Amino acid sequence: MRLAKYIAALLPAICLYGCTGYRLPAGYVKVEPTYDVQFRAVSAEGSALTYRIEENPENGNLAFWEKAATNWLVEVRGYQLTDRQEVRNEHGTPGVEMTFDYSQIGIDYVYLLTMFVRGDRVHVFEAAGPRETFTPDLPAIRKAIAEWPL
């Protein structure tokens, strides 16, 4: 009986540490997310990785959300699409990953957008940072996204 109480007391701490289901890329630390995201991590070099869930009330498919995001980023924000690929997370959920380039106050940035649609939810991962310091982080960021529990 004592063991059961001990385990019950430790369970919240164990889950906080081990049940989060994600691994941060090296050099990133979790910070308090803004009001519209569930998760945010940053690097000392000024890069960021965020995760949020959007409603999919009309059950739009991945192609719809990809087109909507691309139109917004290219036509409205002035980003340049540089790469697009179909991806799957480690559980086989299909998604799309797009990479964009943009400049702001004379600094070249890379913006990575990865989306997965599951029923009435769109899982959105965004990562961005200065090209010079962010580009080496991309493999670890992609791995973290692929391993994220949806």
Residue 4 lies in a domain: no
Could you tell me the two tokens for 99? 């990479």
Residue 117 lies in a domain: yes
Give how far the C-alpha of residue 127 lies from the chain's centroid of Cα atoms, to the nearest Å: 6
pLDDT band at residue 75 using 50, 70 and 90 as cut-offs:
very high
- The tens digit of pLDDT for each residue in 90-118 reads 999 999 999 999 999 999 999 999 999 99
Residue 135 lies in a domain: yes
pTM over 0.85? The answer is no
Residue 13 lies in a domain: no
Residue 8 lies in a domain: no
Total domains in the chain come to 1
- 72: which residues sit within 8 A by CB, 6+ positions away? none
Backbone angles phi, psi at 84, to 5 degrees: -150, 130
- Name all contacts of 34-42 with Cβ < 8 Å and 24+ positions apart: none
What CATH number did the domain enclosing 31 receive?
3.40.1000.10
- The tens digit of pLDDT for each residue in 14-50 reads 333 333 557 889 999 999 988 788 999 999 999 999 9
Owning domain of residue 68: 22-147
| Radius of gyration, CA atoms only, the chain | 18
